[in-house]
Amino acid sequence: MRTNVAVLFGCLAILVAAMPVWAHHAFAAEFDAKKPIKLQGTVAKMEWINPHTWIHIDVKRPNGKVERWMIEGGPPNALYRRGFTKDSLPLGIEIIVEGFQAKDGSMRGNGRDLTLPNGRKLFLGSSGTGAPLDAKDGKDR
Amino acid sequence: MRNRSVAVVLTLAAAAGIAAFVLASAARNSTAAAASETNSYAAARTAWGDPDFQGVWRYEAVIALERPARFAGREFLTDAEIAQIEQTEKDQEARRLAGVEGEAVGRQSVAASPIRGNEYNSFWQDHGRPRKVYKQTSLITDPRDGRIPYTPDAQKADARAGARYGVGPYESYLDPDTGERCLTDGVTGMMWQGPNGGHNQIVQSPGYVTILHEEYRDRRIIPVDGRPHGKIRQWFGDSVGHWEGDTLVVDTTNFVDKTNYEWASIWTRPSETLHLVERFKRTDADTLEYTITVEDPMTFVKRWTAVIPISRIPDGAQIYEYACHEGNYAMPNLLSGARADAAKKTTGR
């Protein structure tokens, strides 16, 4: 398992999902679409707060220095409806996060893709729709 | 020559108008026929005899508020188009369940749509159940072109709001959209908007209908006891309701003027002259036909109406908290982002 950091900036071809026009807030005001980031680190803290969750990860730089990054996630209610709970991301687990860095250059970013070290994306092939029905009717995988 | 051209254009326009009227009348008749068939649904009643709307509701349809250009001149989709959209929705759902993201599920790229949150993938979103396809080409049914009848000034304001949303300038905490400020996205779109929490819970008691909207935890307590409007102006105005058969009619006036704040969509902003009429009607056990008629000379040249199908979420569904200020890091982030942008311009780097 690689513990080195990969922080990649560059104009990558990013394939994304469109959200309804009315997001809670505007991505472009906070984050820089020209600064895609890819971070590998251990989960230090997960803030289950409104209007967006924030995952704190410790990222070890090649020089040994550890940086604490904050990654913005979806709203807690939406994640919960998708089956993402407090147990889904235990402290200390190593994850890879891809997203975009804050415009002010601080160690904050929004999270687009979240991958476990074994390469499995969280909830891949799992809770897909997130509606309350899913958890109860057994159709959910 | 020029006058003759104008005359020809006017004649053509008149002919088109007559044709449109004839077609529209035919469409209206067929809509009325369809409506009377669905009206056979006997609305459930509360213990005290009012039509029962209680439960959790969410908009799950795939209909644009304003009619997209490709459907111009048409109020309804063809059967073939409906089949095609249904297939697309089914395919997207299957891909989502398989964990496929991005362009593969038919989403736009960052380049195609660089702002407005398109950078988040669907992992972070609550999709709800597969979306439902209806015949309507727009939620707006009146005016018949399916477009919001903005005044010229409001049209400009809308263009300006669209251009600055997510871009700035952000000189102060007052500059972001009211939603970004954790206030509200307004009452006009509340029943069917809210990607971070589009659920609405309706609870009734004798003389009252209450609505709890998940995003921003917006809530309304609507008296249906025949009282007149009050005199206090508020963000959500002053709502009074009454029953017309199985339909709940809610009339709201006394909005406070917040047009000086930024609203991502201008049609959602209240002014003192806004008059909103909402109609709630169950067309079957799981569908609420929600109709809004919006009138405001400050923003629109005439009133407009949208008919919005809203779905009932099965029993046991819950509304969760949305304590927006709990961790609204967005505010400092976007202000510091704006300062970083400004510094870049100054230093040229």
Say yes or no for a CB contact (<8 Å) between B313 and A132: yes
Q: Which of A77-81, B102-106, B329-333 has the lowest mean pLDDT?
A: B102-106
Is the same domain home to B121 and B143? no
Contacts for A133 with CB less than 8 Å, ≥ 6 apart: A139, B129, B313, B314, B317
pLDDT, tens digit, for every residue of B247-258? 999 999 999 999
Residue B347: inside a domain, yes or no? no
- pLDDT at position B14 is 45
Whether the Cβ atoms of residue B285 and residue B312 lie closer than 8 Å to each other: yes
* Collapsed DSSP state (helix, strand, coil) of residue B343: helix
Is the same domain home to B188 and B307? yes
Collect all residues of chain B within an 8 Å Cβ-Cβ radius of residue A23.
116-117, 120, 195-196
Of the residues B135, B156, B176, which one is the last residue of a structural domain? B135
- pLDDT at position B39 is 57
Is the same domain home to B154 and B224? yes
Q: How far apart are the first and last CA of chain A?
A: 29
Q: Please indicate whether residue B155 or residue B114 has the higher confidence score (pLDDT).
A: B155
Which residues are bridge partners to B291 per DSSP?
B279, B307
Is the same domain home to B36 and B171? no
> What sign for the dihedral angle of Cα B303, B188, B199, B241?
negative
Q: Which residues form the domain of B87?
A: 78-135
Within 3-32 of A, beta carbons closer than 8 Å to B belong to 13-32
Our CA angle for B54, B57, B59, nearest 5°, is: 155
List, in sequence order, the alpha helices (H) in B54-207. Answer: 79-97, 152-164
What's the rounded Cα separation, in Å, for the pair B282 and B254? 28
Residue B12: inside a domain, yes or no? yes
- CA B343, distance to chain mean position in Å, is 38
For residue B77, give how far its alpha carbon lies from the nearest alpha carbon of chain A (Å): 22
Cis bond upstream, residue A75 (ω within 30): no
Say yes or no for a CB contact (<8 Å) between B328 and A72: no
Is the same domain home to B168 and B289? yes
Predicted ipTM?
0.71
Pairing of strands A54-60, B219-223: unpaired
Whether the Cβ atoms of residue B323 and residue B217 lie closer than 8 Å to each other: yes
pLDDT, tens digit, for every residue of B181-222? 999 999 999 999 876 778 999 999 999 999 999 989 999 999
Whether the Cβ atoms of residue A125 and residue B95 lie closer than 8 Å to each other: no
What's the rounded Cα separation, in Å, for the pair A102 and B336? 9
What's the rounded Cα separation, in Å, for the pair B144 and B95? 36
Is the same domain home to B319 and B282? yes
Residue B64: inside a domain, yes or no? yes
DSSP for residue B279: E
Residue B192: inside a domain, yes or no? yes
pLDDT, tens digit, for every residue of A9-51? 322 222 222 233 344 566 777 888 778 888 999 999 999 998 8
When pLDDT is cut at 50, 70 and 90, the band that residue B89 belongs to is confident
Say yes or no for a CB contact (<8 Å) between A26 and B326: no
A15, A35, A47, A50: best to mutate for the B interface, most B CBs within 10 A: A50
What's the rounded Cα separation, in Å, for the pair B246 and B80? 34
Say yes or no for a CB contact (<8 Å) between B179 and A22: yes
Q: Which of A110, A122, A130 lies closest to B127 in CB terms?
A: A130
Q: Which of B166, B316, B327 lies closest to A28 in CB terms?
A: B166
3-state SS of chain B: helix, strand, coil percent to 5? 30, 20, 45
Which residues are bridge partners to B51 per DSSP?
B45
Determine which helix (DSSP H) or strand (DSSP E) holds B10, and give its type and residue range: helix B2-38
Cβ atoms within 10 Å, residue B73: 12
What domains lie within chain A, and their CATH numbers?
A: 29-136 (2.40.50.140)
- CA B336, distance to chain mean position in Å, is 31
Whether the Cβ atoms of residue B121 and residue A16 lie closer than 8 Å to each other: yes
Indicate whether B319 pLDDT > 70: yes
Q: What is the dihedral of CA A99, A105, A107, A111, to 10 degrees?
A: -20
Residue B181: inside a domain, yes or no? yes
Is the same domain home to B118 and B214? no
Within 94-133 of A, beta carbons closer than 8 Å to B belong to 99-100, 102-106, 108, 110-114, 121-126, 128-133
For residue A1, give how far its alpha carbon lies from the nearest alpha carbon of chain B (Å): 24
Closest chain A residue to B334, measured at CA:
A30
Is the same domain home to B114 and B175? no
Is the same domain home to B195 and B103? no
Give counts: helices (H), strands (E), chain A.
Answer: 3, 5
DSSP for residue A17: -
pLDDT, tens digit, for every residue of B46-80? 999 999 999 999 998 878 899 999 999 999 999 99
What's the rounded Cα separation, in Å, for the pair B326 and B163? 28
Is the same domain home to B157 and B28? no
The domain total for chain B is 3
What's the rounded Cα separation, in Å, for the pair B284 and B292? 19
- Which of B305, B249, B311, B243 has its CA nearest to residue B278? B249
Whether the Cβ atoms of residue B53 and residue B243 lie closer than 8 Å to each other: no
Residue B212: inside a domain, yes or no? yes
Is the same domain home to B326 and B180? yes
User: Which span out of A71-80, A109-118, B108-117 was modeled with the highest average pLDDT?
Assistant: A71-80
Residue B45: inside a domain, yes or no? no
For residue B7, give how far its alpha carbon lies from the nearest alpha carbon of chain A (Å): 42
- pLDDT at position B284 is 93
- pLDDT at position B195 is 65
Phi/psi-derived region of residue B296, left when phi > 0, alpha when psi is between -120 and 50, beta in every other case: beta
pLDDT, tens digit, for every residue of B131-158? 788 999 999 999 999 999 999 999 999 9
Is the same domain home to B196 and B122? no
Contacts for B107 with CB less than 8 Å, ≥ 6 apart: A15, A16, A17, A18, B101, B118, B122
Whether the Cβ atoms of residue B280 and residue B247 lie closer than 8 Å to each other: yes
